[in-house]
Amino acid sequence: MIKILAACGAGINSSHQIKTAIEEEMKKRGYTIKVDAVVIKDITEEMMNQYDIFTPISKTKFGFDIKIPVVEAGPILYRIPAMAAPVFNELESVIKKIDK
């Protein structure tokens, strides 16, 4: 199972929308994934190391290097297929490269 970490500023609305959208779309594409939604400020290096992919709402800087693939997921929130499709395609490409 691929584990994905979704994050936004408050960890309440946007990250949960991203979580749901990713879970639904990747299930349609035949992938078994688990997405957790959190507040960006609560992310630690130890937490990040428990996931395979990081999907923040936008580019984020931390006090540590991110060692997993990052797919910016903000365009998913617009609910416009033409904007969300490239994010889902990039995410699928990353998932295919992960040996799990």
pLDDT of residue 20: 95
pLDDT of residue 99: 74
Whole-prediction pTM: 0.93
- Could you tell me which CATH number the domain at 2-97 has? 3.40.50.2300
- Rounded distance, CA 89 to CA 26, Å? 10
For residue 70, give the 3-state DSSP assignment: strand
pLDDT digits (tens, 9 = 90+) for 26-43: 999 999 999 999 999 999
Residue stretches of the chain with pLDDT short of 70: 11
Beta bridge partners of 55: 6
Where exactly are the structural domains of the chain? 2-97
pLDDT of residue 11: 60
The alpha helices in the chain, defined as continuous H runs, are 14-28, 45-48, 81-97
